[in-house]
Amino acid sequence: MRFDAVESLVNIKSLLRNVEPTAQGIEKLVTSLGYRLISTNEQLLDSDALFQQKDLRQRIIRTRRVYAQSATWIHPSTKQPFSRDAAIILIELIDEQTLRSRWPFEITRYAVRFGLQTSQALFFFVAPDSRSFVVTAYVEILDAPGRIEVRRLVVDLDNITRTDVESILALTYSRMRPDTIIDEFRMALPYLKVGQDFFREYHSLFQLLTKRLRPVLKVEEETYGYAQRLLGRITFLYFLQRKGWLDADRAYLKKRASGLHGRELFHFLYGLFDKLNTESNRDKSMGNIPYLNGSLFEREPYPQEQIKKISEACAPLLRDILKVFDQYNFTISESTPLDKEVAVDPELLGSLFESMLPESERGDRGTFYTHQDEMLFMAHEALRVYLTRFRELLNRDQIFYVIYGLDLQKEFRIEPKVAREAKDRLREIKILDPAVRWFPHGRSTSPA
C-alpha cells in the first residue's frame, strides 16, 4: 500500500474518532469529506410528503438534503444520457433500535422509488443517544424495474474498524469526477469485498495455525479440525459481541483482551468459551455472558499436558488473529438478495460453523447449514401458499408479484389499501425452522 493511501486511511480514522453521531456531526463529516453543503434554509424535506407510508413516517424525526450536484449519467446498456442529481440525504430516526434495525433499508428503498426518482443519493442516518450512524447506498436493478438493491454500513464509533475507514474514505469528494459521481454513488459501499478479504485472511490464519499445531496433534484430520474449531469459535465471539451479548459491550474483546498475549490470551479465550458453555453460571468475573446450549464451546477431551502443548503452539498467533478480526464489521442481520450489509454476516458464520467439524461427525451433532438460496426458496414458497388463503385480497399473479417480484400487468395493479391489508396478514405469521438447535439461554429467537 502506498504511503499516501496509508496516510488517507489514518486521516479518515482520526476523522471518525472525532465525529459526533448527530445531525450536526454528520454535516461536519460530510464537509470534511469535501462536499459543499447547501444552505440550511434549503435543506429541509417534507417527510410527510416524501414518505406516504405511515409506519415509515412514525420512525422519522427529520429529513434533509444536505448536498446536491447536477450531473449526467450514461445508462450502461443503452448508452443513453440521463440528467441526475448526486445527493446526500440526512435522516434523523426516533431511536437507536430503529437505527440498527432493517428500517434504514426500507426507508432508503421507499424514498428512491417514490420521492427521489431523478437523484442518485447516499443516505446518512442518526438517532438520539446513539454512538453509531448508518450509511446506505443503492442501485436499481436495470433488468428488473422497481427492484432496488440497498447496501448498508453501520459505523460504531466506539469500535471503528478498517471496513468503516475504507468505506468512508471511498466517499471522499476528491475521488469523484463530475462525469463519474453518479456511478461512484451507485457503486458505493461494496459489500462483496468485505467477505472476500475476510475469507482470504481467514484462510491465511488457518494455514499458519495448522502449521504450528501439526507437530503437536500429529494426525492431519485432528489438526485441521482443531484449527477450524478455534477460528470458528473466535468468529462466533465477534457475532455475539456485535449483538451486544458479551456483557452488553460491542467492543468487549478489544477491551478485555487488551494487553494480553501468548498463553495468557489463550486462557482468557478458553475462560470465555467455558462461560458460554456453562448453564446457571454465577461467576461474573468476565461480565454478563450468556449460556449457549450447543456443542460449539465444549472443551476438547485432551489431557492437561496436551492442552499445555496446544496452548504453546497457538499462543504466538492469537494476538494476530484478534487483530485481523478487529478490522472487520460483523453483523447478525443476514443479507438478502436486495438488502446487503457491508460486514461479515451470518451466512458466512453458518458455512464456517458447518466446516468446523469433520464430515463424519456432522450427522451426530446436527451441524448442517441451510444455504441462503435454499432457505429463501422455502420461505418464499411458505409465504406464497399462506397468501393463497386470502383470494379476496390478491389473485395468483398479484401473489407472485408480492413474493417473487415477477412482472404484473397494469390491470392487476395492487391498490394501496389492499397492499396494507396483505402486509398486515404477513405480519401475523412466523416461520419456524425446526432444525435450529441452539439459542442463548433465556432469550427468544425469531428464525423467520
Minimum mean pLDDT range among 51-55, 136-140, 283-287, 333-337: 333-337
Does the pLDDT at position 25 exceed 70?
yes
Average pLDDT over residues 5-13: 78
Does the pLDDT at position 2 exceed 50?
no
Minimum mean pLDDT range among 186-195, 233-242, 403-412: 403-412
Does the pLDDT at position 153 exceed 70?
yes
Residues linked to residue 148 through DSSP beta bridges, in sequence order:
140
Q: Output the pTM of the full model.
A: 0.80
